[in-house]
Structure 1
Amino acid sequence: MKKLLSMFSSFFKIGAFTFGGGYAMIPLIQAEVVENKKWIEKDEFLDILVIAQSFPGALAVNTSIFIGYKIGGAVGAILALLGTVLPSFFIILLVASFFMQFRTNYYVDLVFKGIGAAVPMLVLIAVVSLSKSVDKNYTNLLIVIITVVCITIIDIHPVLVIVASGLYGYIFFRKKVK
């Protein structure tokens, strides 16, 4: 039970102090569950992240559910979910009740501009950190290039690219089971 409460507390802290959505939360989740608490290995975290991206819903929420389930089963999944979403829920309630009267305030606007500038860097940190776990070879480089071209230039929906990449991995990277 102590581990579950610690997990809830960790996800609550991450949810309370991260702005910018799921991708901005990933480096914080990784630091907490892989490096600080050592609940899972980095390879497991990368696998969970890939699975979480494949499911509908917010990336950080899906990731927290999978990690919570790995640590504490169904109860762990629920506590991790609540830890992740409750801070945002309470902050949104608070902000919604006061936002309209302060949105035109010059200083509030500056705060939001500062937060908005930091979010892309948090996403970049997540990309760099996760890329360290990927094998550096021509096949993976080609997959990255094709993915970027498909999504940004050809405008193929990311879900289709994820499904196609998953099928490619299943067909070409699977190991023969004896």
Structure 2
Amino acid sequence: MTELFKLFITFLKIGSFSFGGGYAMLPLIEEEIVYINQWLTQSEFIDIIAISQMSPGPIAINSATFVGFKYLGVGGAIAATVGVCFTSFFLVTGLARVIIKYYDSLIVKGIFSGIRPGVIGLIGAACVSLFKASIVDIKSLIIGLTVLVILSKTKIHPIAVILSSGVMGILLYSI
């Protein structure tokens, strides 16, 4: 199996077995990319997640594109992006009518009632993993807690928070 095909299959698996959007995919992406295939280090993965969050578009697609590019260049970016989108594209186009038709059925309601809390658990696991990798000292803890408080108490735009975090990083880590 070529590395390009392996990258496609890895992101096909990630896209096929992740529900709840990009944040819910992060634990699976991390497991596959950092631990199983060792295509990136934990630090590189965290940097790619940060870039993916700042870039326009869904975090799962951005992450796949950046990981693919970092690992295998433009071909890797295309393979990873197509892989992560492949299953959801066919599910949405193929199953949308069925889900809409039977949305009020007890089985479909039961499925979604089970998936929702599972997705929250996946997002929580991603938060814990990102916290462990990103909060490495008291300065990073100060930046993280400051951003958490600001975002939970105000309606400041996330771009302003990202830029402010960069400024805090310069101030705290240059001194």
TM-score, normalised to structure 2, is 0.93
Q: Report the residue type matching 2:7 in the other structure.
A: M
Q: Report the residue type matching 1:55 in the other structure.
A: S
Number of aligned residue pairs: 175
Which is worse superposed, 95-104 or 138-147?
Answer: 138-147
Asked whether 1:48 is paired with 2:44, we answer no
Post-superposition Cα deviations, 1:139-160, rounded to whole Å, max 9, x if no partner, equal 2222122111211111212222
1:52-131 matches, within 5 Å, as 52-131=52-131
Post-superposition Cα deviations, 1:80-138, rounded to whole Å, max 9, x if no partner, equal 11011111111111221212211010111010010001111101111111222224433
Cα distance between partner residues in 1 of 2:150 and 2:80: 34
Cα distance between partner residues in 2 of 1:98 and 1:24: 24
Specify the SS of the correspondent of 2:134: coil
Which is worse superposed, 133-142 or 118-127?
Answer: 133-142
Cα distance between partner residues in 2 of 1:135 and 1:146: 13
Cα distance between partner residues in 1 of 2:171 and 2:51: 17
Partner of 2:165: 165
Q: Which runs of 5+ in 2 are unaligned?
A: none
Partner of 2:146: 146
Cα distance between partner residues in 2 of 1:160 and 1:37: 35
Which is worse superposed, 105-114 or 166-175?
Answer: 166-175
Contact 2:139 2:172 in 1 (8 A): no
Shift of 1:174: 5.1
Cα distance between partner residues in 2 of 1:167 and 1:28: 31
> Structure 2 vs 1, CA of residues 118 and 132 (structure 1 numbering), >3 Å: closer, same or farther?
same
Contact 2:23 2:60 in 1 (8 A): yes
> Structure 2 vs 1, CA of residues 115 and 83 (structure 1 numbering), >3 Å: closer, same or farther?
same
Partner of 1:21: 21
Shift of 1:28: 0.2
* Identity of matched residues, %: 38
Post-superposition Cα deviations, 1:51-78, rounded to whole Å, max 9, x if no partner, equal 1111111111111111100111111101
Cα distance between partner residues in 2 of 1:49 and 1:136: 16
Shift of 1:171: 4.7
Superposed structure 1 runs of 4+ greater than 6 Å apart: none
Cα distance between partner residues in 1 of 2:27 and 2:135: 19
Q: Which runs of 5+ in 1 are unaligned?
A: none
Post-superposition Cα deviations, 1:5-63, rounded to whole Å, max 9, x if no partner, equal 00000000110111000000001000001100111111111111111111111111111
